[in-house]
Every structure is written in C-alpha cells, then in structure tokens.
Amino acid sequence: MSVPSRLIRAAFKRCGVDIQRLPRRPISSKRLEQLYSKYKSDTMLGPLEYMRNLALAATVTVPGCVIECGVWKGGSSAGMAEVLGPERDYYLFDSFQGHVAPQPIDGPAALAWQADKSGPWYFDNARVGPEVAEAAMKNSGARKYRLVKGWFDDTLPSFVPPSPVAVLRIDCDWYAGTMTCLRALFPFVAEEGILIADGYPDWDGFARAIHEYLANYEGVTRIKQFEGRLYYVVKGPRKWEY
C-alpha cells in the first residue's frame, strides 16, 4: 500500500524538514554541452540524451535528495549534482557487478542485447567498479553523496532517505529491478518531484514495470514527455495556474 504524500510531508516536517519550492535554476545550452564534454566517458548516453536528462532535472523546484538506481560510471548522477547543487544528498545504487540476466518478461530486444556480447552497447554487461563513479561524484563538487553497492533486493528494502526525493532516476532496464526500485523508493518521491524513466521507450520489461506499478499506486501520477523524447513521471495533482 502506498503512503499518501501529505503523510510523508507531515512526517518529514516533524523531523524538521519542511518541503518548500526552490527557485528554478536556469541552465543554458552551453552549460549542458560543457557538462556532457566533462562526463561523456562516464555515461552510455549520447550527447542529446545526456543533456536532455540534465535539462529535465534542472526543472525540479522542490528540495530533497536525488537518487539514481543503475549508475554505471556515475556520469548522470555527477551531472545532476552540478545542475541541482552540491547541498543536496545524492545516493547512487548499483551492484557494480553488471546486469542480472534479463527474463522473458523483458522482451526479445533485452534477450538479444544479452546474447550479443560484442555489440557496441554491451559494455561488458555494464560491469564497472564503484571507484569510477566515486571519481565522477568527486569531480562534480557534490558534498554529500553515498555509493550503495549491492543488488537492489538487498540494499533497497531497508533504505529510508533523509528527506523527500526530488529526483529519482531509474536506469536498470529490466522488469524485476525496476519494480524493486519503484516499490522501495517511489513512495518517498516528493509531491512535484519526478521519476526519470530513462529506459521506458527502449525496454519492454521496464515499461511493463512502470505501468503495473502506477496502475496500483493510490496517489496521483502522470507520465509525461520532455522535449518529445525523455519520459518521466510527475507525482501529485495538477496545479492549475492562470
């Protein structure tokens, strides 16, 4: 059962954390290009995809922590730290042992990706040590970050963030991992916070997990597109503005 956002806000307020809007941080195309140049060796995203992710993150105006599940070399988290500010808490969850094997529910494209070990996007099954992501986060200037090494089933069930989640980015591709991340973390997303669903248009299992979870979520959410390509989920009722 999901926890109503008003109860989450009240609980954090009792702990001295009041959720208020922050001024939006303007970000220029030149700045986005600089960040891609800085972190391009630490991300699998192409330049337009990477800059689109950061531009979307920069629109978030609620305070709170930033969480990424499936970080590889840490380039996306490092870039978000640069656009969202060094004062936030950043959490990077990854096995740092590569992907688990996709299952039939993940679809033929996922199974083909797993089988093509010489393919240009295989990247040794996304296997890389945590020291690479550690270096990227140090390079970002973030003051408060934590790399959480281990399989999501082991690390997420007992995790409670120190504040509402302003940005949750899930990039673990397959159905099982995505569903684990959603169940553990989406209830903590702040109202008007966002879930960046990076794998939504690419992987069948990822999309299925998003649909199934949101269909059973008791709060108000909607799936949106940013710049016609990047899918994300907004939490909370629509605010009418005149």
Token code pair at residue 232: 């994300």
pLDDT of residue 10: 60
Measured CA to CA, the distance from residue 133 to residue 203 in angstroms comes to 24
Token code pair at residue 167: 């940005």
- Three-class SS state of 5: helix
User: Quick one: CA dihedral 119, 200, 189, 83, positive or negative?
Assistant: positive
Q: For 145-205, give the DSSP string.
A: EEEEES-HHHHSTT---SS-EEEEEE---SHHHHHHHHHHHGGGEEEEEEEEETTTTT-HH
In CATH, the architecture of 5-15+44-235 is 3-Layer(aba) Sandwich (3.40)
Mean pLDDT across the stretch 50-59? 96
- Alpha-carbon Rg for the chain, nearest whole angstrom, is 17
Mean pLDDT across the stretch 88-97? 96
pLDDT of residue 242: 45
pLDDT of residue 125: 67
Eight-state DSSP code of residue 57: H
Q: Where are the alpha helices (DSSP H) in the chain?
A: 5-14, 29-39, 47-57, 75-84, 108-115, 123-126, 130-140, 152-155, 175-185, 204-216
Mean pLDDT across the stretch 211-217? 96
pLDDT tens digits along 144-194:
999 999 999 999 999 999 999 999 999 998 999 999 999 999 999 999 999
pLDDT tens digits along 11-43:
555 654 554 555 556 789 999 999 999 999 999
Q: Which of 16-30, 95-109, 201-215 has the lowest mean pLDDT?
A: 16-30
Higher-pLDDT residue of 133 and 125 is 133
Per-domain boundaries in the chain: 5-15+44-235
Mean pLDDT across the stretch 48-64? 96
Q: Which of 5-9, 42-46, 101-105, 226-230 has the lowest mean pLDDT?
A: 5-9
